[in-house]
């Protein structure tokens, strides 16, 4: 990352993320390493390290940095997990996760977004990401079970396929609801989901059989 961008990135992590309680070192290191500006349209890159979601086209956005860090942090990643991401969007959250885990499967329902994200992720050298176009509500059954699932678009209810594909002892973070949405963190224990609502949010609605996958509008 070029020095001026790096300085802005480090300032973002210190002032917008660490000061708001994100302390897990692997998350902070990932946020410091990924060049967020590259995942944004050229004419909006001056906004890259501000604490806001930014449009990336087609009604989609790149998520607010704090929300990306927060959702990553609550998954309590150790660096050994197989992770499913539903809603590649810009690919920014994908890159953050790929900095931490060895196996990342990412689904995007919009071919244009998937193609753009794939090109950039390959350019940045993320060889541990498998990305494909598909209905995220159906998950990626042939790669299951997943130790963690992260969803960046809001269904009205949690898709059953995602619950089925979550490993015992695994966790899923997902925004749920239409008008009033809540970010839910669920752990699978003894085959059942233990759900905790943790934050009111505003994400784009999930497309596909559950209900366009992409970045948040938080």
pLDDT tens digit string along 106-153? Answer: 999 999 999 999 999 999 999 999 999 999 999 999 999 999 999 999
Distance of CA 79 to the CA centre of its chain: 16
Confidence grade of residue 180 (pLDDT, cut at 50, 70, 90) = confident
Contacts of 114 (CB under 8 A, 6+ apart): 88, 108, 131, 132, 133
For 18-25, what is the mean pLDDT?
96
Please state, in angstroms and as integers, the Cα–Cα distance from residue 168 to each residue in 85, 124, 147, 171, 210, following that order: 18, 33, 8, 9, 23
Q: Is 209 assigned a catalytic role?
A: no
Per-residue pLDDT band at 215 (split at 50, 70, 90): very low
Once rounded to an integer, what is the mean pLDDT over residues 77-85? 97
Distance CA 176, CA 152 (A): 10
Domain boundaries, the chain: 52-210
Q: Higher confidence at residue 207 or residue 130?
A: 130
How does pLDDT run across 157-174, given as a tens digit for each residue? 999 999 999 999 999 999
Tell which residue, 143, 148, 154, 141, has the closest CA to residue 216: 154
pLDDT reported for residue 210: 57
For the domain covering 52-210, report its CATH number.
Answer: 3.40.50.150
Instruction: Record the tokens describing residue 18, joined without a space.
Output: 């660490």
User: Residue 5: what pLDDT?
Assistant: 96
What per-residue confidence (pLDDT) applies to 169? 98
The encoded tokens of residue 113 equal 């977004």
Tokens 């806001």: give the residue. Answer: 52
Question: Chain-wide mean pLDDT for the chain?
Answer: 93
pLDDT of residue 213: 39
Q: What is the pLDDT of residue 216?
A: 35
Range 171-189 average pLDDT: 95
Which listed residue (63, 90, 137, 212) is catalytic?
Answer: 63
Report, as an integer, the average pLDDT of 187-206.
Answer: 93
Under the banding of pLDDT at 50, 70 and 90, the label for residue 214 is very low
| Per-residue pLDDT at 119 | 98
For residues 78-116, b (16+ Cβ closer than 10 Å) or e, as one string?
A: eeebbbbbbbbbbbbbbbbbbbbbebbbbbbbbeebbeb
Mean pLDDT, range 43-70, rounded to an integer: 92
| pLDDT at position 99 | 98
The reported pLDDT for the residue numbered 29 is 98
């Amino acid at each position: 990352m070029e020095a001026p961008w790096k300085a802005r990135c480090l300032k973002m992590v210190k002032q917008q993320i660490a000061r708001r309680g994100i302390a897990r070192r692997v998350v902070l290191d990932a946020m410091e390493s990924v060049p967020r500006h590259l995942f944004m349209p050229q004419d909006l890159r001056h906004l890259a390290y501000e604490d806001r979601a930014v449009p990336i086209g087609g009604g989609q956005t790149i998520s607010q940095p704090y929300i990306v860090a927060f959702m990553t942090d609550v998954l309590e990643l150790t660096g050994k997990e197989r992770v499913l991401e539903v809603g590649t969007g810009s690919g920014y959250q994908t890159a953050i996760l790929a900095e931490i885990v060895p196996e990342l499967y990412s689904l995007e329902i919009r071919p244009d977004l998937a193609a753009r994200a794939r090109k950039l992720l390959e350019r940045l050298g993320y060889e541990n990401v498998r990305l494909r176009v598909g209905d995220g509500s159906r998950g990626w059954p042939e790669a299951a079970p997943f130790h963690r699932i992260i969803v960046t678009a809001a269904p009205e209810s949690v898709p059953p396929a995602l619950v089925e594909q979550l490993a015992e002892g695994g966790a899923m973070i997902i925004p749920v609801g239409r008008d009033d949405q809540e970010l839910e963190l669920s752990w699978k224990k003894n085959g059942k989901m233990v759900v905790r609502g943790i934050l009111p949010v505003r994400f784009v609605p999930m497309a596909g059989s559950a209900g366009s996958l992409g970045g948040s509008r938080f």
